[in-house]
Amino acid sequence: MITRFALFEGTVKAGQTEAFRAAVLETILPRWKAMPGALDVRVSFTEDRDPGAPEYPLILAVNYPDRETVERALVSPERDRAREATEAVLARYFEGRIHHHVTQANEFPL
């Protein structure tokens, strides 16, 4: 399985945390879930971090079956719509940058 992470590095504008989270779930999440070939979407809002650690108020993870499916999703019209929705929410609530990391998951059952 391949996971594409979007790390939202920066800060939510003062007093806007709950509005930011609601906008992510109501406006952006449906677009991310519509990505072709996506197996599931995880949205993680940071609750705490180590002193001095960078701020990531949001981490998005979308799982795909393979790298080819990721590549198809990234050139799809759904990606364009997801990007537009994301940019609109971020312009209102977020100051920072987004960077992406593509990983291959390895599971080690307990």
Q: 2-104 has which fold?
A: Alpha-Beta Plaits (3.30.70)
Distances, alpha carbon 71 to alpha carbons 27, 61, 88, 102, 106, in Å: 24, 15, 24, 11, 20
pLDDT of residue 97: 97
Average pLDDT along the chain: 96
Q: Tell me the backbone φ, ψ of residue 63, rounded to 5 degrees.
A: -95, 140
Which amino acid type is present at position 37?
G
What digits encode the pLDDT tens for the residues 60-107? 999 999 999 999 999 999 999 999 999 999 999 999 999 999 999 888
User: The whole model's pTM is what?
Assistant: 0.91
Where are the domains positioned within the chain?
2-104
Residue 105 contacts residue 2 (beta carbons within 8 Å): yes
Specify the pairing of strand 2-12 against strand 94-104.
antiparallel
